[in-house]
């Protein structure tokens, strides 16, 4: 069974850092690109970042470029999002999602999400 489980969210002060993880199981991680998508409280979906199976292709939304870094460890079946210089507007639920059609489309499995709250 395909599963994606995010962790690492929490409360952090503005300017602080968090590292999110997404543990994958039930499929060969290296064969798939992965997206991070976030959702501010009561708002819609916003794409954050994408990383290809071999990490050769990485892209970021302008709103996080230079502050967030996506990475993956296929041997450990894990995806990561290092978030630095956090701002209040980064608050929301962060989902990891498997991509079936590179580079970003057809997200067929999503995790349950992890909540990030940036507040003083």
Beta-carbon count within 10 A of 44 CB: 6
Verify binding: residue 2, another protein, rule CB under 8 A.
Answer: no
The DSSP H or E segment spanning 24 is strand 18-25
Contact 66, 13 (CB under 8 A): no
- Give, as ranges, the residues between 101 and 120 that touch another protein (CB under 8 A): 101, 103-108, 110-113
Binding mask 28-67 for another protein (x = CB under 8 A): ---------x------xxxx--x--------x-xx-----
Verify binding: residue 27, another protein, rule CB under 8 A.
Answer: no
Q: How far is the CB of 94 from another protein (least distance, A)?
A: 11
**Cα(31)–Cα(24) distance, integer angstroms:** 12
Q: In the 8-state DSSP scheme, what is residue 75?
A: G
Contact 98, 82 (CB under 8 A): no
Per CB under 8 A, the segment of 10-18, 22-30, 67-75, 100-108 that binds another protein is 100-108
Verify binding: residue 100, another protein, rule CB under 8 A.
Answer: yes
Question: What residue has token string 């690109």?
Answer: 33
Verify binding: residue 11, another protein, rule CB under 8 A.
Answer: no
First to last CA, the chain: 40
What does the binding site for another protein look like in residue numbers (CB under 8 A)?
A: 37, 44-47, 50, 59, 61-62, 95, 97, 100-101, 103-108, 110-113
């Amino acid at each position: 069974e395909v599963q994606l489980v995010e962790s690492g969210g929490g409360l952090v002060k503005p300017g602080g850092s968090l590292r999110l993880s997404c543990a994958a199981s039930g499929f060969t991680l290296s064969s798939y690109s992965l997206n991070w998508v976030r959702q501010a409280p009561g708002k819609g979906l916003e794409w954050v970042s994408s990383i290809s199976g071999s990490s050769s292709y990485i892209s970021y939304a302008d709103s996080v470029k230079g502050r967030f870094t996506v990475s993956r460890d296929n041997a450990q079946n894990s995806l990561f999002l290092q978030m630095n210089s956090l701002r209040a507007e980064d608050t929301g639920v962060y989902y990891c999602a498997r991509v079936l059609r590179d580079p970003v489309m057809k997200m067929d499995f999503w995790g349950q999400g992890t909540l990030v709250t940036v507040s003083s």
